[in-house]
Amino acid sequence: MKVFIKNMACIRCIKVVEHELRELGFNDITIHSGEVEIRDNISEDQLEVFKGSIQKLGLELIDDKNNIIVEKIKNTISEIVYHGEEEPKSNFSDYLSKKLGYDYTYLSNLFSAAKGISIEKYLIKQRIERVKEMLIHSEYTLNEISYKLRYCSVAHLSGQFKKETGLTPTYFRKLHKNLLKRADNL
């Protein structure tokens, strides 16, 4: 049986879900970015207990086909941006379409209707969040960040960052460091 869990892309979430399943006695499981395959037999009662246990953790099972597809789109983007999955050899729309097995126009319309934002805009927002994390939690230069996140240039990264945040990446990093210094002096 395959089940899909909303917003389960981080390693911590995957470990927690794995722990919950093992506590319920399931051992033949595979978990990957929101998708859980349970090869053991699972009763309706066990499934309800599992639903309840993950709800307490802020996670939920998804059983609507369209919501599953939207979650797969989000997880694919997360894998590329956060987990360094290999950059698609073709353009992103072709890559996503091939990976999920649906026409990109269908995926795009479905995602926009569900999330109120285009896939492209969501991808940009995720990349900018990753840039912010790297600016705050690493000493990478902008050039290194640009390379690691596969921007075509530092100028492109900087332009996108400023458009999304209203700040340049350099100013964002400096502002954050100044805030940390002030907090340390309290």
> Average pLDDT of the chain?
87
Tokens of 46: 């066990």
- pLDDT value of residue 110: 97
Give this prediction's pTM.
0.79
Residue range 2-63 forms a domain whose CATH class is alpha beta
CA Rg, the chain, in Å? 19
Report the first-to-last Cα separation within the chain, whole angstroms: 53
- pLDDT tens by residue, 134-161: 999 988 999 999 998 889 999 999 999 9
**What are the residues whose beta carbons fall under 8 Å from the beta carbon of 1, sequence distance 6 or more?**
37, 38, 42
**Kind plus residue range of the DSSP H or E element containing 135:** helix 119-137
- pLDDT value of residue 39: 86
Q: What is the maximal distance between C-alpha atoms in the chain?
A: 57
Tokens of 69: 């597809």
Backbone angles phi, psi at 9, to 5 degrees: -115, -25
- pLDDT tens by residue, 107-121: 999 999 999 999 999
Determine the CATH number of domain 118-186: 1.10.10.60
Q: Which residues pair with 60 in a beta bridge?
A: 6
- pLDDT tens by residue, 33-51: 778 888 888 888 888 888 8
